[in-house]
Amino acid sequence: MPRAATLLRIAAIGLLVGFLAAPQRFAPLFAPLTQYGAPPIYDQGNLLSLALAHLGTVFIAAAASTLVAVGLAILVTRASGAQFLSLSRTLANIGQTFPPVAVLAVAVPLVGFGQTPTLIALFAYGLLPIFENTVAGFQGCPPAVIEAANGMGMSARQRLLAVELPLAMPLILEGVRLSLVINVGTATIGSTVAAKGLGEVIIAGLLSNNTAFVLQGGLLTGLMAILLYDAMVMLERRLLRTVPA
Amino acid sequence: MISIEALTKQYGAMRVVDEVSMSIESGSITVIVGTSGSGKSTLLRMINRLVEPTSGRVLIDGNDTASMPAHLLRRRIGYAIQSNGLFPHRTVAENIATVPRLLGWEKARIAARVEELLRVFQLDPVACGSKFPHQLSGGEQQRVGVARALAAEPALLLMDEPFGALDPVIRSKAQDDLLDIQRRFGTTIVLVTHDMDEAFRLGDRVAVMRQGRVLQHDRPGVLLTRPADPFVTRLSGTADRALKLLSLTTAGELAEPGPRESRTVAAGASLREVLSDLIWSGAEAATVLNPDGTSAGRVSLARLLAHGRQS
């Protein structure tokens, strides 16, 4: 099975890179989906630069979410911050419950059109999985291990860095992965407020009734999400090779 | 020497430890025994300040433990617990090196110490050192836990039910090993248990706790023959107390000059074992042999029985 997985992975990477490098080569495939001689491949912008901008937005938002969510989770799992746990949980939940489209609608009047409102929406949307997973990771540290760390004479900081973070790392990374993958898809709506990204292709297709555009925008986004998920799983395994399950 | 002075821990209206005072001699094993909720673990954890006392103080060699930051104090005191608390993401060698690393020892010194401890605890330094805790058996994990507690050569070792999770055979071996190691390093040990047999077997002194107070703190033999409280009698059990008393003395200690017997026993054997041997073999007396094979004298059945009598 690992062989099949590797082949599938190579095929997916090949497809993504091939399409982005030379989209016109796939024109015959998409041509049957167009009507009245409309272009089968998106021609109002460079697909490669759109894909890179899309990924860039997702990564910046995920980095910010990770920083804030992990920081917050550390704070509320200390004895001094325990009283803020339910408040932080509520905040992270609101971030997830509030639809990103609504966040965009609120953000645009405040910060204008472009990438910034999209970053805000993705940041808020990605907080919850990372926050909840990090809290669960800390709370899952065996009490005897924490007791031993204290008994050995570790300071609170040493205990956090040397014991709690490494033990919580599998769950933290899983949270980051979830958040990343959700946001690859969610980032497409950023194009409604003029953020550069693959959503542009989908929206152009919807406006001009061009199914080929919608499909290639969706396919590229999907491929990136799958490959990102896959890459994160591999990264997790690599980083955590020394940590027993 | 450790002096515990009027040590008290209060949670709300509840006094978990109630004005406990005791002194612990350097190089001895003191066992604190009591039922659950007696405050014995809290008392132990106040010595290394994992629990901060409400009032009272602890002096180690005359220095008040409250005079230094708690985490620095703990680096100088060994601490081993029941579920051993090994760090699952670190190898056995890294686990043992924890406190020396915190203290900033040189790498070579740490490596040498880790290897020495693995050998002392009968763990193969090559095969075991690079393993992760989950790859070890329960008995091995427990030994690594004690080795880690002893890594920085602490003069004092605190143990909270260290053998509680082991099966009887491994536990008995672990207790023997602990006695050996205590003799070897001369460490002062304070150990908490709910098992009176373990207390009698390991303790130079045994402190019996109930409801936050120490009822009696004395040599095991005194607890048997002159219990200060009915609870002490109850906890040590009355059905086999004569045999318990015998088990506290070795044949070598009781041997007296006399004719050579055909039956022989080792000087290190407990009187309880000697009695059993005499009953089994039908002999009236046995010659006590030193480890080098020379005679240390003899013990007779009559002398054994007299020794087990309440005096």
* Structure confidence at residue B88 as a pLDDT band (50, 70, 90): very high
Q: Which of B82, B86, B99 sits opposite A153 (nearest CB)?
A: B99
Could you tell me which chain B residue has the CA closest to the CA of A168? B89
Q: How many residues would you count in chain B?
A: 311
Instruction: Indicate the CATH number of A47-242 among 1.10.3720.10, 3.40.50.450, 3.20.20.70, 3.40.50.800.
Output: 1.10.3720.10
Chain B residues whose CB is inside 8 A of the A170 CB are none
Q: What is the model's pLDDT at position B127?
A: 87
Q: Is the pLDDT of residue A241 over 70?
A: no
Q: Which of B79, B83, B89 sits opposite A152 (nearest CB)?
A: B79
- Are B84 and A148 within 8 A, CB to CB? yes
* Structure confidence at residue A245 as a pLDDT band (50, 70, 90): very low
- Are A152 and B134 within 8 A, CB to CB? no
**E strand spans, B148-271:** 156-160, 188-193, 205-210, 213-218, 264-266
Q: Is the pLDDT of residue B30 over 60?
A: yes
- Are A147 and B88 within 8 A, CB to CB? no
Q: To the nearest 10°, the Cα dihedral for A234, A236, A242, A245?
A: -110
Hey, where are the domains in chain A? 47-242
What are φ and ψ of residue B265, in 5° steps? -135, 155
- How far is Cα B64 from Cα B52, in angstroms, rounded to an integer? 13
Chain B residues whose CB is inside 8 A of the A163 CB are 87
Q: b/e for B158-195, b at 16 or more Cβ within 10 A?
A: bbbbbbbbbeeebbeebbebbeebbeebebbbbbbbbe
Beta bridge partners of A138: none
ipTM of the prediction: 0.85
Chain A residues whose CB is inside 8 A of the B89 CB are 166-167, 242-244
Q: Which of A145, A153, A166 sits opposite B85 (nearest CB)?
A: A145
The Cβ of residue A17 has, within 10 Å, a number of other Cβ atoms equal to 12
The Cβ of residue A54 has, within 10 Å, a number of other Cβ atoms equal to 27
pLDDT in tens, A67-108: 999 999 999 999 888 888 888 888 888 888 888 888 888 888
Q: Is the pLDDT of residue A227 over 80?
A: yes
Confirm or reject contact between B50 and chain A (CB < 8 A): yes
Q: Is the pLDDT of residue A244 over 70?
A: no
* Structure confidence at residue A243 as a pLDDT band (50, 70, 90): low
What is the pTM for the complete model shown?
Answer: 0.84
- Are B88 and A150 within 8 A, CB to CB? no
- How far is Cα B128 from Cα B151, in angstroms, rounded to an integer? 16
Contacts of B140 (CB under 8 A, 6+ apart): B123, B128
* Structure confidence at residue B125 as a pLDDT band (50, 70, 90): confident
- How far is Cα B53 from Cα B45, in angstroms, rounded to an integer? 9
Confirm or reject contact between B153 and chain A (CB < 8 A): no
* Structure confidence at residue A242 as a pLDDT band (50, 70, 90): low
Q: Which of B73, B79, B87 sits opposite A163 (nearest CB)?
A: B87
| Site of tokens 């207790």 | B175
- Are A243 and B89 within 8 A, CB to CB? yes
Q: Which of B50, B81, B89 sits opposite A167 (nearest CB)?
A: B89
Q: What is the model's pLDDT at position A26?
A: 86
Q: To the nearest 10°, the Cα dihedral for B189, B195, B199, B200?
A: -160
- How far is Cα B92 from Cα B79, in angstroms, rounded to an integer? 17
Of A25, A92, A102, nearest to A65 by C-alpha is: A92
pLDDT in tens, B159-201: 999 998 888 888 888 998 999 999 989 999 999 999 888 999 9
The percentage of residues in chain A with a pLDDT greater than 90, rounded to a whole number, is 52
- The mean per-residue pLDDT over the stretch B218-235 comes to 90
Q: Is the pLDDT of residue A2 over 80?
A: no
The Cβ of residue A163 has, within 10 Å, a number of other Cβ atoms equal to 23
Q: Is the pLDDT of residue A135 over 90?
A: yes
